[in-house]
A and B are shown apart, each in its own frame.
Chain A
Amino acid sequence: MSSLPKRIIKETERLVSDPVPGITAVPSEENLRYFNVTIEGPDQSPYEGGIFKLELYLPDDYPMVAPKVRFLTKIYHPNIDKLGRICLDVLKNNWSPALQIRTILLSIQALLAAPNPNDPLANDVAEAWLQHETQAIETAREWTKKYAVLE
């Protein structure tokens, strides 16, 4: 870890000193490229009231390649599979080094507010979402209560 790029230092500094509302990202002490992230479920979404844990890792080639992000908290969402992997364009083909950790986490928060069952990662969830939306939203709410709400 002798040479952490200035860009990472700067992003970390800003994430800690001027955090995005509803999002926290704290670097691990052992590895400054590994972040423990929490995202609050957006208001008026089935995830409202939940606090979702994620892990974020900056590969050696960052920012030439996208950060790797994964949900650690179980979540019922058509674009997030049961391993927590996220289907989001900016994490894959649409990554650009002009984006940053902050913008990626905001995109993920937006994905929670607007699930897109037409581009699914979790096929069963997406199908449920398309066929019985009310039921699916109810399940998402239950899961949020069960896994993402701390007593």
Chain B
Amino acid sequence: MSSFVPTVSDPSDFAHCSEPRLVEFDSLLRCHICKEYQTAPVLTTCGHSYCSVCIRKYLIHTAKCPICSKEIREANLQRNVLLEQVVICFKTLRDDLLEKLTVESKVDDRQRRGSCEVIEIDDNVEVDDELEIVSETKKRRNVGQGGLESLFKRKKTPPKVGPLGTCPICAKQFPIRVLESEHIDLCLNTPLLEQDKDSIVPKESEHSYQKLTKLDFSSLSNTTLKQKLAKLELPTNGNRNQLESRYNEYLILWNANCDSIVPKDPKVLRRQLAQWESSLKFRKDDHDRQLDKKGWSDLIKQARNSKMKTREEQDDAQVESIDIMSTNEEDDSNLITSAQPQNCSIQASTQESTDHERVFAD
């Protein structure tokens, strides 16, 4: 398992820092379909938000909101600009935040252990001597746990050489004193568009990407369809089915990309499309192979065997008239059982399928 863990971030990353309530905040920014941070989020008419790609793909299956099951339509999805900005902002801050909160929780623990009864102002603890809450009671400290508060609540008159802090708006470093007294106000009052170009939150750029429309394939000749694909710089090889699903997949990728405030270059989308198509091919090959080698031949063998067995049993039954019905029934169920794992989980190992048979043969 451990080999692929590092690439995946999860709300639970915050569970062991000094502000475990960030677990909830982190998960709020994620899409309920892919569990990743929302990419180009869109709002449904019922007020829920998903990645544009995810909800568009799901609506092909079912025209319902995954959270509240209300009927929704793709045409009514609206981009959710603020959420996208919040997500981008949080993603940028995440690693730093996590690191700081983890370090501080260690310092905090050490201090708490050292002074159980009375909280004293300890000048040796670097991080905490900045805190307003240091002079307050133990109860207050335990509630706040020093985490977020230690990040944001600084003394109004800090020491002469103040440590640097990062402005939450423009992400630049300033001495805390400057940050608190003047910079944040200044930063907040500067309109978004006039801000520095290395602002943490991307501006809502004017892009020229127009949404694509769904095609009525029934009224479209092969040549016209190929022309349409070529115009989008997409491959035009493959059979009619492939052409149509290629267009449909690209339509989703493209339209979802239009919902983003930082749309990707069409080249990136075409690469994604190619990846999707090769994964489809991979899956198909896999299925075919499995069914050819294992599935079909096994199924046929089993069917033949059990037919033979039934016949033999029927012959036997003429001699001793035991309960034929129940034997037949059992045979049928054996057949169905041995077919079932192939349907349900094509790649179940042989050992497992013998397990199934044993279980159901009882």
Q: Footprint of B on A, CB under 8 Å? A: 2-7, 9-14, 16, 18, 28, 30-31, 33-34, 55, 57, 60-61, 63-65, 68, 70, 72-74, 82-84, 94, 96-98, 147
Q: How far is the CB of B184 from chain A (nearest CB, A)?
A: 36
Instruction: Kindly list chain B residues whose C-beta atoms are within 8 Å of the C-beta of A74.
Output: 359-360, 362
Chain B nearest CB from A63 CB (Å) reads 6
Q: Which residues of B contact A68 (CB under 8 A)?
A: 344-345
Could you tell me if A98 and B66 are in contact, using CB atoms closer than 8 angstroms?
Answer: yes
In the complex the two chains form, is A34's CB within 8 Å of B275's CB? Answer: no
Segment from B1-9, B90-98, B144-152, B173-181 that makes contact with A: B1-9
Q: How far is the CA of A97 from the CA of B56 in the complex (A)?
A: 13
Contact of B10 among A3, A5, A10, A94 (CB under 8 A): A10
* Known contacts A13-B10, A83-B333: A30-B34 contact under CB 8 Å: no
| Contact across chains for A55 and B344 when beta carbons are under 8 A apart | yes
How far, in whole Å, are A64 and B33 apart by their CA atoms in the complex?
8
Determine whether the beta carbon of B282 is less than 8 Å from that of A2. Answer: yes
* Shortest beta-carbon distance from B287 to chain A in Å: 9
| Docked-complex contact A13 and B283, CB < 8 angstroms | no
Residue-wise interface mask of B (51-88) relative to A, using a CB-CB cutoff of 8 A (1 in contact, 0 not): 00010011001001011010000000000000000000
Query: Given the complex of chains A and B, what is the CA–CA distance between A28 and B119 in angstroms?
Result: 52
Instruction: Point out the residues of chain B lying under 8 angstroms from A12, CB to CB.
Output: 1
Chain B proximity of A94: nearest CB distance (Å)? 8
Nearest CB of chain B from residue A2's CB, rounded to whole Å: 6
Q: A-contacting residues of B (Cβ < 8 Å)?
A: 1, 4-5, 7-8, 10, 12, 32-36, 54, 57-58, 61, 64, 66-67, 69, 275, 279, 282-283, 333, 336-337, 340-341, 344-345, 347-349, 352, 355-356, 359-360, 362
Interface contact B355-A72, CB-CB below 8 Å:
yes
In the assembled complex, 10 residue pairs joining A and B whose CB atoms fall closer than 8 Å, in A order, are A6-B8, A6-B36, A9-B4, A10-B8, A13-B1, A55-B344, A63-B33, A96-B69, A98-B33, A147-B362
Residue of A10, A57, A83 touching B345 (CB-CB under 8 A)? A57
CA distance A97 to B33 in the complex (A): 5
Q: What residue in chain A is nearest B343 (Cβ atoms)? A: A68
A31-B347, A55-B348, A97-B32 known; A13 vs B5 contact (CB < 8 Å): yes
Q: A72-B359, A98-B33 are in contact. List 12 more A-B contacts (CB 8 A).
A: A6-B35, A10-B10, A11-B35, A28-B347, A30-B347, A60-B283, A70-B340, A96-B66, A96-B67, A96-B69, A98-B66, A147-B362
Q: Are A57 and B362 touching (Cβ within 8 A)?
A: no
Nearest chain-A residue to B69 (Cβ)? A96
Is the pair A5, B349 in contact by a Cβ cutoff of 8 Å? Answer: no
Q: Cα distance A70–B282 when bound, in Å?
A: 26
The answer to whether B64 touches A64, judged by C-beta atoms less than 8 angstroms apart, is: no
Are the CB atoms of B349 and A64 closer together than 8 Å? no
Q: Which of A3, A65, A82, A96 contacts B64 (CB 8 A)?
A: A96
Q: In the complex, are the beta carbons of B337 and A83 less than 8 A apart?
A: yes
B35/A10 in contact, CB under 8 A: yes
| CB of A41, distance to nearest CB on chain B (Å) | 17
Q: Is the CB of B279 within 8 A of A3?
A: yes
Q: A60-B283, A82-B333 are in contact. Are A18 and B275 (CB under 8 A)?
A: no
Complex: chain B residue closest to A16, CB-CB: B1
Determine how close the nearest CB of chain A comes to the CB of B275; give it in whole angstroms.
Answer: 7
Report chain A residues within 8 Å CB of B348. 28, 31, 34, 55, 57
Cα-based distance from A98 to B7 in the complex (angstroms):
22
- A30–B349 contact, CB under 8 A? yes
Alpha-carbon distance A18/B1, docked complex (angstroms): 14
Taking the nearest CB of chain A, how far is it from the CB of B358, in angstroms? 10
- B349 with A28: CB separation less than 8 A: yes
In the complex, chain B residues whose CB is within 8 Å of the CB of A63: 33-34
Nearest-neighbor residue (CB-CB) of A27 within chain B: B1
Collect the chain A residues with CB atoms within 8 Å of residue B67's CB: 96, 98
A55 x B275 contact (CB < 8 A)? no
Chain A residues lying within 8 Å of B35, measured Cβ to Cβ, are 6-7, 10-11
B229 smallest CB distance to A (angstroms)? 24
Measured in the bound complex, the distance between the Cα atoms of B7 and A4 in whole Å is: 13
Q: Are A34 and B347 in contact (CB under 8 A)?
A: yes
Whether B58 contacts A97 by the Cβ 8 Å rule is yes
Indicate if the CB atoms of A64 and B36 lie closer than 8 Å.
no
